[in-house]
Structure formats: structure tokens, C-alpha cells
Amino acid sequence: MYCTGTCPYCVMAERLLASKKVAITKRRVDLDPELRNEMMARSGRRTVPQIFIGNRHIGGFDDLSALNERGGLDPLLVS
């Protein structure tokens, strides 16, 4: 998950994933400008969080939350 230290949406995404017992690798784009460039190249987006499960781009917190509400998140976490 690409994130910053002060982003409330990053915190909400982390909480949702933690509730699913998912180990999260946080990539702090506020500490390393090259990570922001990497994030934008991978996701096509400039905002955080940008969440990936494996190599699959999920999107931001709203995308993650919607995926969870539709029941699509859990199957991605077990594969």
C-alpha cells in the first residue's frame, strides 16, 4: 500500500485490511519522492492510498471499501 503518514484514508484502509488479518507493506511516498513516481507509474493515480494485492491494483480506500462491500475482497486475500 502506497501511503503517507498523515492520510486519514490510508489509516482507514490499513484498519480494514488489518481486520482481515492481512499483512501490509506500507510504502511511504511522503518520505521518498521516487516511491511517489513508482506509485503513479503503477497505478496511473497521484493520490494515496493506492492499494495493491499482489500485482493487482485495487485503487484507493473507496475502491477497497466498495470491493469489500460487494464481497470481492476476501477471495483476493486467499489466493
Per-residue confidence (pLDDT) for residue 78, from 0 to 100? 87
Model confidence over 30-76: pLDDT tens digits?
A: 999 999 999 999 999 999 999 999 999 999 999 999 999 999 999 99
CATH of the domain at 14: 3.40.30.10
Q: Are strands 2-3 and 27-28 parallel, antiparallel or unpaired?
A: parallel
CA 47 to chain centre: 11
Q: Long-range contacts made by residues 22-28, C-beta under 8 angstroms, separation at least 24?
A: 22/77, 25/1, 26/1, 27/1, 27/2, 27/3, 28/3, 28/4
- Calpha distance 59→73 (Å, rounded): 12
Per-residue confidence (pLDDT) for residue 79, from 0 to 100? 62
Domain range for residue 22? 2-78
Domains in the chain, number: 1
